[in-house]
């Protein structure tokens, strides 16, 4: 007969699993279930719509054989990567700036984090209000007589250059990246950098040999999160993007909301394609990062 | 969006394990009602015992939402039924829910949707999937407020929805007409376009000052349909577009639409953004309205016989906005309806709601407070009721009701709409170099069976 202490030990052993249960259920049932359903549908399984040709690769082959899909993929990658890269450079500068002492640092630091608590939708609305052809900038220019009509203002939104989309992503993600890099810098301390400075290293050498390796984990985790989000984000390219060819999430949405139900399966093939591309790129990125850590001898 | 739909689906799958069996009472009620064995008092009694009605409708109009809460809800409460107004952003969401419920084995009495405000493709989908409650419209006491006599041409709007026979599975709720508004601050009366040729001439003088909403949005589809009517090479306008694709055939459709699509291609560089090299089609009515308010476009079109009056009153149109007769003789007029799904949880309450919505009271207050044209037919009413309806109508600006009535055209058959929108996407948006006949033939071949 098991003693109470045995039972207690068994419970202690299982307690972490119990704590993981709520999140585990959410991830496995809602996320995993949705992923599985998306995969099944993209392969022709949707008996509730009267379609069942499982397994059927034609949804992928039709999708991938069209030139517009590759344009959509290009725009999706371009907006995601450009926004992540621009935000990263600015975030490193901001984080390095915030570890120095200067008057008003606390106020500036808090202000710079403001976009973190403002939703994307508000950022998109701000972009429309400020940068649109009916926006504050265009009307200001017309009022000042630089142009005759707000419509003549150079088009910043709704073009394939994607200035609006990238601006919103950078605006929102820059503080997030700066925060994670700043946190890494704070926890690493300044001793090594100061020691190097005493030993005569230049600022450039300090950054390359000490600061950069310190902040790389923060950079990798935050860029990964932002890139993955940008790949799948729908609202910003839908409202601020240039129309056809749309980014992949917008393309999926168009197929999905079409009155023709058969197109939902095509939309699922788009969703699965997004997952494949994002997953591959993230795996590659992590492999490169692992190699870098290995060379540094940290793993 | 995608995740949420999956969540709905998964949730309905889980729920189905506990309630797979059809609700016997509701199934019995349906059989008895459709067989004509129940009096209206029986329906009212059954509705009171059900207690609530789940009504799903597009919630994007504040005036409508206020009317729903302040007029319809109290009237339904007086009949012992709580109105649960589910405001949705797209009617298709409600149709999806009905389909997901049905896929999870939830039949009458167990579903989640009692009534939907819809028309066109959404009704066509429910009918195709056999997910409608049955022929109820003519069994309602207020059915007397509609023209059902097929010999009278005016009955067509009650008998056919985008060419699909309604079979009484939905009851008309509002009428609508495609009306364009011009901003007189930019567009003087003398330059008003009445035909598509006029529009092209106007755009040549004022490049970029017009946009139509991007198909497959129904407002964009409607604009395209009107162009196709106007450029019909036989000069028969909307007439051949009333047939289903199965009867018309892909080759004949391609011949009929060729001049219209050529026109659409021709004016593309003159549309909004065209002069800057990147033509831009607004995504929805709200986007087009914003462009119109900001004078980026001079003409804004949409469904709404009284939209100009309503929008001038609430400030979403400038006070210089006026209605215009465009395109002359081809202003599409249709009705929209209330349908009851086959798996309605409270079918009797849904019937009571449909009957209330068809009453003179509901129609007059809706016209007065929301500005939606009546779905009931004035010539079937008592004189006093017809007069009340006429008195409730908002004003017109720049045109008369008679001019608007004289220029109407019917909607396109729902089975053609899918083909036309697929053709637009391929030929105009994607700029396909394939010949139009081939594009149309491909679109027909791809249609859902």
- The secondary structure of B162-219 as a DSSP string is TTEE-TTSEEEEEEEEEEEEEETTTS-GGG---SHHHHHHHHHHSTT-B--PPTTSHH
Distances (CA, A) of A160 to A68, A72, A229, B6: 13, 10, 20, 31
Contact between chains at A158 and B273 (C-beta distance less than 8 A): yes
Mark yes or no for CB contact A257/B294 under 8 Å. Answer: no
Q: What is the pLDDT of residues A150-197, one digit of tens each?
A: 777 888 888 889 999 999 999 999 999 999 999 999 888 888 888 998
Measured CA to CA, the distance from residue A157 to residue A169 in angstroms comes to 14
CA distance A226 to B92: 32
Distance CA B303, CA B181 (A): 11
Nearest residue in chain B measured CA to CA from A234: B1
Task: Considering only the beta carbons, identify the residue of B122, B296, B446 that sits closest to A151.
Answer: B296
Measured distance CA(B285)–CA(B181) in Å, rounded: 13
Query: In the beta sheet, which residues pair with residue B341?
Result: B132
Contacts of B36 (CB under 8 A, 6+ apart): B139
Closest Cβ opposite residue B92 in set A133, A252, A259? A259
CA B152 to chain centre: 23
CATH code, A57-296? 1.10.3720.10
Report which of B374, B341, B310 is spatially closest to residue B125, judged by C-alpha positions: B341
Cis peptide before B117 (omega within 30 of 0): no
Q: Beta-strand (E) ranges in B313-359?
A: 321-324, 331-339
ipTM of the complex model? 0.71
SS3 B270: helix
Of A30, A134, A234, the CB nearest to B294: A134
- Cross-chain Cβ contact B2/A271 below 8 Å: yes
Residues 6+ apart with CB under 8 A from B344: B26, B54, B108, B109, B111, B113, B114, B115, B133, B350
- Determine whether the interchain pair B121/A259 forms a contact, defined as Cβ–Cβ distance below 8 Å: yes
B278, B295, B418: residue with CB nearest A159: B278
pLDDT in tens, chain B (449 residues): 444 444 444 444 444 444 444 478 888 999 999 999 999 999 999 999 999 999 999 998 889 999 999 999 999 999 999 999 999 988 989 999 999 999 888 999 899 999 999 998 899 889 988 999 999 999 999 999 999 998 888 888 999 998 889 999 999 999 999 999 999 999 999 999 999 999 999 999 999 999 999 998 889 999 999 999 999 999 999 999 988 899 999 999 999 999 999 999 999 999 998 888 889 999 888 889 989 988 889 999 999 999 999 899 988 999 999 999 999 999 999 999 999 999 999 999 999 999 999 999 999 999 999 989 999 999 999 999 999 999 999 999 999 999 998 999 988 988 898 899 999 999 999 888 899 999 999 999 877 55
∠ CA B196-B201-B204, rounded to 5°: 125
The fold of the B2-174+335-399 domain, in CATH, is D-Maltodextrin-Binding Protein; domain 2 (3.40.190)
Nearest Cα to Cα of residue A155 among A81, A240, A77? A240
* Cα radius of gyration rounded to whole Å, chain A: 25
C-beta atoms of B447 and A260 within 8 A: yes
- pTM given for the model: 0.79
In a structure prediction context, what are the per-residue pLDDT tens digits for chain A, which is 299 residues long? 455 566 677 777 777 788 888 888 988 999 899 999 999 999 999 887 778 888 889 999 999 998 889 999 999 999 999 999 999 999 999 999 988 888 888 898 888 889 999 999 999 999 988 988 778 888 888 888 888 777 778 888 888 899 999 999 999 999 999 999 999 998 888 888 889 989 999 989 998 999 999 999 999 999 999 999 999 999 999 999 888 889 999 999 999 887 777 788 999 999 999 999 999 999 999 999 999 999 988 87
- B9 contacts in chain A (CB < 8 Å): 37
Tell if the CB–CB gap between A38 and B2 is shorter than 8 Å: yes
Alpha helices for chain A (secondary structure H)? 4-25, 33-42, 58-65, 67-99, 105-112, 114-117, 120-131, 136-143, 163-188, 191-198, 203-206, 212-232, 235-240, 248-257, 263-296
For A227, counting Cβ atoms within 10 Å of its Cβ (0-12 exposed, 13-18 middle, 19+ buried), the class is buried
Distance CA B446, CA B438 (A): 12
Q: Where are the domains of chain A?
A: 1-42, 57-296
Distance from CA of A262 to the nearest CA of B (A): 6
Number of residues assigned to chain B: 449
> Residue A2: its pLDDT value, please?
52
Q: What token pair was written down for B153?
A: 């041409």
Please answer whether residues B111 and B12 qualify as being in contact, where contact means their C-beta atoms are separated by less than 8 angstroms. Answer: no
**Using an 8 Å Cβ cutoff, are B439 and B426 in contact?**
yes
Q: How far is the alpha carbon of B404 from chain A, nearest alpha carbon, in Å?
A: 30
Contact between B272 and B301 under an 8 Å Cβ cutoff? The reply is: no
Chain A contact present for B11, CB below 8 A: no
- With an 8 Å Cβ cutoff, are B10 and A48 in contact? no
Q: Contact B283/A159, CB-based, under 8 Å?
A: no
């Amino acid at each position: 007969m098991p003693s109470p202490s045995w039972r207690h030990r068994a419970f202690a052993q299982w307690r972490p699993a119990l704590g993981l249960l709520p999140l585990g259920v959410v991830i496995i049932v809602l996320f995993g279930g949705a992923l599985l359903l998306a995969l099944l549908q993209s392969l022709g399984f949707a008996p509730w719509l009267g379609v069942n040709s499982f397994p059927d690769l034609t949804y992928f082959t039709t999708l991938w054989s069209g030139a517009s899909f590759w344009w959509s993929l290009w725009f999706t990658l371009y907006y995601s990567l450009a926004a992540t890269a621009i935000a990263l450079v600015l975030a490193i500068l901001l984080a390095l700036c915030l570890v120095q002492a200067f008057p008003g640092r606390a106020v500036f630091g808090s202000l710079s984090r403001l976009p973190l608590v403002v939703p994307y939708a508000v950022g998109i609305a701000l972009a429309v209000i400020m940068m649109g052809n009916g926006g504050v900038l265009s009307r200001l220019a017309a009022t000042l007589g630089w142009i005759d009509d707000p419509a003549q203002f150079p088009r910043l939104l709704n073009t394939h250059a994607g200035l609006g989309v990238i601006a919103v992503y950078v605006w929102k993600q820059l503080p997030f990246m700066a925060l994670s890099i700043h946190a890494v810098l704070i926890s690493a301390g300044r001793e090594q950098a100061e020691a190097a400075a005493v030993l005569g290293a230049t600022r450039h050498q300090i950054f390359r040999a000490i600061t950069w390796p310190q902040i790389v984990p923060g950079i990798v985790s935050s860029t990964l999160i932002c890139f993955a989000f940008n790949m799948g984000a729908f609202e910003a390219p839908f409202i601020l993007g240039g129309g056809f060819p749309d980014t992949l999430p917008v393309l999926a949405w168009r197929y999905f909301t079409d009155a023709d139900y058969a197109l939902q399966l095509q939309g699922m093939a788009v969703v699965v394609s997004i997952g494949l591309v994002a997953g591959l790129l993230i795996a590659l990125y992590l492999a490169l990062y692992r190699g870098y850590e290995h060379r540094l001898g940290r793993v | 969006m995608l995740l949420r739909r999956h969540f709905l689906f998964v949730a309905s799958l889980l729920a189905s394990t506990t309630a797979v069996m059809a609700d016997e009472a509701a199934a019995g009620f349906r059989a008895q009602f459709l067989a004509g064995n129940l009096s209206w008092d029986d329906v009212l009694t059954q509705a009171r015992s059900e207690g609530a009605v789940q009504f799903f409708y597009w919630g994007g109009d504040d005036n409508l939402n206020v009317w729903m809460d302040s007029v319809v809800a109290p009237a339904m409460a007086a009949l012992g039924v709580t109105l649960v107004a589910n405001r949705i952003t797209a009617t298709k969401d409600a149709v999806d829910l009905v389909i997901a419920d049905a896929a999870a084995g939830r039949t009458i009495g167990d579903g989640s949707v009692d009534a939907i405000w819809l028309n066109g493709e959404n009704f066509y989908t429910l009918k195709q999937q056999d997910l409608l409650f049955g022929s109820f419209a003519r069994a309602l006491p207020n059915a007397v407020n509609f023209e059902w006599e097929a010999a009278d041409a005016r009955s067509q709007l009650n008998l056919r929805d985008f060419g699909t026979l309604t079979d009484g599975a939905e009851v008309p709720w509002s009428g609508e007409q495609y009306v364009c508004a011009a901003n007189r601050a930019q567009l003087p009366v003398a330059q008003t376009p009445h035909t598509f040729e006029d529009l092209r001439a106007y755009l040549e003088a004022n490049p970029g000052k017009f946009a139509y909403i991007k198909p497959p949005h129904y407002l964009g589809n409607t604009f395209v349909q009107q162009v196709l009517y106007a450029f019909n090479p036989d000069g028969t306008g909307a007439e051949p577009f009333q047939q289903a694709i199965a009867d018309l055939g892909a080759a004949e459709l391609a011949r009929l639409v060729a001049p219209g699509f050529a026109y659409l291609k021709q004016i593309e560089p003159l549309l909004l953004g065209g002069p800057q090299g990147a033509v831009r089609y607004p995504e929805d009515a709200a986007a087009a309205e914003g462009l119109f308010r900001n004078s980026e476009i001079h003409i804004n079109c949409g469904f709404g016989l009284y939209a100009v009056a309503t929008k001038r009153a609430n400030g979403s149109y400038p006070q210089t906005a006026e209605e215009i007769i465009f395109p002359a003789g081809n202003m599409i007029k249709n009705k929209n309806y209330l349908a009851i799904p086959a798996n309605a949880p409270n079918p009797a309450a849904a019937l009571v709601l449909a009957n209330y919505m068809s009453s003179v009271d509901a129609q007059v207050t809706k016209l007065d407070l929301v500005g939606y044209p009546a779905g009931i037919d004035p010539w079937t009413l008592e004189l006093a009721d017809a007069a009340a309806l006429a008195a409730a109508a908002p004003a017109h600006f720049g045109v008369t009701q008679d001019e608007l009535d004289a220029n109407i055209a019917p909607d396109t058959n729902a089975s053609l709409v899918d083909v036309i929108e697929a053709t637009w996407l391929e030929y105009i948006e994607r700029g396909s170099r394939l010949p139009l006949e081939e594009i149309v033939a491909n679109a027909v071949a791809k249609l859902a069976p």
